Structure 1
Amino acid sequence: MTWKRTTTILTLIVTLGTAVPAAAATRAPAPTVVEALDRTAHPLRTVDPGGDTRDLRPLDRMIADAEVVGVGEATHSSHDFFALKDRLFRHLVEKKGFRTFALEAPWSTGLRLDDYVVHGKGDPRRIMREEFQRDYLWWNNTDYLRLVEWMREYNIRHPADPVRFIGDDTAWTGPEVYDEVVARVAAADPASGERLNGLYRGLRPTVPTGTYIESYLGKPYAERREMAERTGEALELVRRTGADGGTVQDATAIDRTARQYAFDFEEPGQIAEAMRYRDQAMAANVLWWQRHTGTKVLLSAHDAHVGYESYDPAYPKMQGAFLRDGLGAAYVNIGLTFDRGSFNATDQDETAVRRWTVGPAAPGSNERTLDRVRYRDYAVDLRTVGSPARTWLRQARPTYRIGTAYPDGPHDVALARTHDILIHLHRVTAARLRDR
């Protein structure tokens, strides 16, 4: 007994004294941030639409049952971002039942393009040329033209289950929307129609989109406030007549345009309030459409607008945060980053559009680390990535967030606090703008 017990103890001592250090000697070191991202990243085959989409299946799982998916862009004019959104939308239409493409463009612009994709009304090239001016000129590109034409072709094949196009922004409402609202109200109540026509007098645009936006910004603050008071009164009149939901929404779009300009842009605090109003209005337009039509929506906008956190005090709360308030987990957003490449933007004086080139990303930036992942282009779910990448992704560091004018940034962004999913591209190229 004593011998056996001693032998057993000796065996344990040998086991603990030799095997354990051997195990310790072979224990894998803690993963780095890049290694943690490697384990959860899913490679993308291409950004361009067409062909095999099996590489997008991991994104299907990440999106899950979301009703609205915001897809960002780190510049406002790179081909790869626009093409990828086209590819994602086609895939989500076919595999996940999505039916609406929403763009950071005016509500009335969306109505004109929707008329084309659903009914074949108008020429998309002309619509894009007339609507995408000044702040929206970036959308008049060959990639979005291809998307719009694909949507029309899809609807010819599926007339009973069409895809739709909407704009969610506020800077412009076309004259045809004023006329439609007045006509619908007048048909039911001629006296109210006459009153409405008077309230809208002088507000209907009579000049091209870009000229209208420029002239509106140049009006005195008091005049802009008076215009918003009239559109607000008009909206209440439309509501009192018992107009249908679509007519009320169109009158709301008119009112939102006027109220977007009814801020004192000489006051920094008012500028921030104007930007908050814009993001809230854009979210409200998307929510109205989604609830009214019941369709799943891909929302295209800048990374900043689809995200949850703002990196700029001039933008107190972003569209993505408002959408999360309204939809909860039914809203998911995808941020887009890139390491190097080109894009279109004006200079800071906004005097000319030119092609800019940046990269490789600087040391200490988010993109510098993201570009070391083993895949050239990939998607990763920021909500499920392991340590230490999870902590790293929640820390703010320099990131490309380029708007309509350059130089711009980099800006300090905490990726995992801003986005649910990330798609990183190694290189991007400037979009091909039309009519320039």
Structure 2
Amino acid sequence: MLVQRLGAPSDLDPLLERVRDARLVMIGESTHGSYDYYRIREQLTRRLIAECGFSFVAVEGDWPDCERVHRSVVAAPGGAAEPQTALERFERWPTWMWANAEVARFCRWLRAWNLERPEQDRAGFHGLDVYSLWESMRAIFDYVGEEDPASLEAAQDAYRCFEPYGKRVEEYGTASRFVSARCEEEVIRLLTRTREHAAVDGPAAFAAWQNAEVIAGAERYYRTMVGGGPESWNVRDTHMADTLDRLLSRHGPGARGIVWAHNTHVGDARATDMAADGMVNIGQLARERHGSDAVVLVGFGCWRGTVTAVPRWGSPAEAMLVPPARPGSVEHRLHELMPERAVLVFGDPADQPGWVTDALDHRAIGVVYDPSFEAWGNYMPTRLGERYDAFIWCDETTALHPLPALTTPGEMETYPAGT
């Protein structure tokens, strides 16, 4: 195991050496609201794009919202000249995950970097998640109205199927268990139409295809969510992994991708108690699909600090205190052993200490956070050296800075933790 004190961006060199030949680098976070994670992740991502030629960033966010950001950072026709303008249009709660000053700064850098390069060499910014059913439906109507009128009937049929449930799409899942309310046939028809059109058209058709995939994923997600168990989680992470693979294909031969998501999605589920519950995640799926040598998984953690989160589902974001990690946890051990900031690159398991190979509690904070749960919750048993290829340690963190954004209530998809 290599340990490098972390101060300047150049201190990331050992990690850059580890990821230099990877096709996918997934960079996590143990909260959705820590400035330090976003800042270090930004520094690492800049170097991956500028020095290693990575093709795009794909985040744990909605496709339509991120498509507006993508159009801005690649300077596509009609895209916002200022990426922050696109980020401020994020509406689905919790907006602060991506509509924050830290992401805005990165996207401004990405646009400036892209403008110095030919269009085909510009790095993109995309969303992986499955929740934007209605936003994706609107985007498809906009597309077919202008580019593919023959698909309008399929789009209208899919819309009418979901329309009785309005914004409470989870009610569709409940209804599908007891009455003939399934929308699978309508969604498959729409997906088939847009997939065929995307095969012969450009970026707009690909975006429409992805929006149709979101609708199909959302239909499966809400139908499985009401049954409980791991299946809805697996639908979501499989959708994200499938989207990632489509992006690699879309960006062309030799494309390389960077993922920004929570540790619970990035870190290999097989090295946690998620596996015993039958759950998979995008880190595991990427290793299985592309090979461990082609995928580098990077986790984050802290001992204490502040975080942007909420005490209750749907509440306004606020800076909350993160107390010192509990004794016996990964974070407590790192607090005892590591400098204030460090990057750990794992190697041969035979050369790693017991706290890297043994199962220790590892803190995970979602958008909903109650520090009083620290005594018994907020932790996941983890074999750190198996879950990640590298780990970035911040002994103390501070809350990130949300942008002003219009907020609509979040759906129940990540309730109650929001990871």
TM-score, normalization: structure 2? 0.82
Label 1:176 to 1:150 Cα distance change in 2 as closer, same or farther (>3 A). Answer: farther
1: distance between equivalents of 2:356 and 2:186? 47
Label 1:385 to 1:105 Cα distance change in 2 as closer, same or farther (>3 A). Answer: same
Paired position in structure 2 for 1:54: 10
Label 1:262 to 1:388 Cα distance change in 2 as closer, same or farther (>3 A). Answer: closer
Paired position in structure 2 for 1:24: none
Label 1:178 to 1:382 Cα distance change in 2 as closer, same or farther (>3 A). Answer: same
How many pairs does the alignment contain?
Answer: 378
Q: 1:280 aligns with which of 238, 242, 247?
A: 238
Query: What's the secondary structure of 2:336's corresponding residue?
Result: coil
Given residue 153 of structure 2, which amino acid in structure 1 is its aligned partner?
A: R
Paired position in structure 2 for 1:167: 127
Paired position in structure 2 for 1:9: none
Question: Which has the greater radius of gyration?
Answer: 1
2: distance between equivalents of 1:99 and 1:232? 30
Paired position in structure 1 for 2:117: 158
Label 1:375 to 1:335 Cα distance change in 2 as closer, same or farther (>3 A). Answer: same
Matches within 5 A, 1:27-46: 40-46=2-8
Paired position in structure 1 for 2:99: 140
Q: 1:226 aligns with which of 182, 194, 202?
A: 182
Label 1:420 to 1:264 Cα distance change in 2 as closer, same or farther (>3 A). Answer: closer
Q: Give the superposition deviation at 1:363.
A: 1.8
Q: Give the superposition deviation at 1:330.
A: 1.1
Q: Give the superposition deviation at 1:385.
A: 6.4
Q: Give the superposition deviation at 1:373.
A: 3.0
Label 1:226 to 1:131 Cα distance change in 2 as closer, same or farther (>3 A). Answer: farther
Paired position in structure 2 for 1:12: none
Paired position in structure 2 for 1:130: 89
Matches within 5 A, 1:264-275: 264-265=225-226, 267-269=227-229, 272-275=230-233
Paired position in structure 2 for 1:251: 212
Paired position in structure 2 for 1:289: 247
Q: Give the superposition deviation at 1:129.
A: 2.8
Paired position in structure 1 for 2:379: 410
Q: 2:34 aligns with which of 69, 78, 82?
A: 78
Paired position in structure 2 for 1:434: 403
Q: Give the superposition deviation at 1:70.
A: 0.3
Q: Percent identity?
A: 24
Paired position in structure 2 for 1:397: 360
2: distance between equivalents of 1:263 and 1:279? 13
Tell me if 1:261 matches 2:214: no
Label 1:374 to 1:256 Cα distance change in 2 as closer, same or farther (>3 A). Answer: closer
Alignment RMSD (CA, Å)? 2.7
1: distance between equivalents of 2:147 and 2:99? 34
Tell me if 1:215 matches 2:168: yes
Given residue 415 of structure 1, which amino acid in structure 2 is its aligned partner?
A: L
2: distance between equivalents of 1:428 and 1:292? 37
Q: Give the superposition deviation at 1:349.
A: 4.8
Query: What's the secondary structure of 1:263's corresponding residue?
Result: helix
Deviations 1:379-429 (A, max 9, x none): 11222466451x331222222111111125122222112111111111110
2: distance between equivalents of 1:242 and 1:305? 28
Paired position in structure 2 for 1:177: 139
Label 1:127 to 1:414 Cα distance change in 2 as closer, same or farther (>3 A). Answer: same
Deviations 1:257-281 (A, max 9, x none): 332222242x323xx2011010010
Tell me if 1:68 matches 2:24: yes
Tell me if 1:193 matches 2:154: no
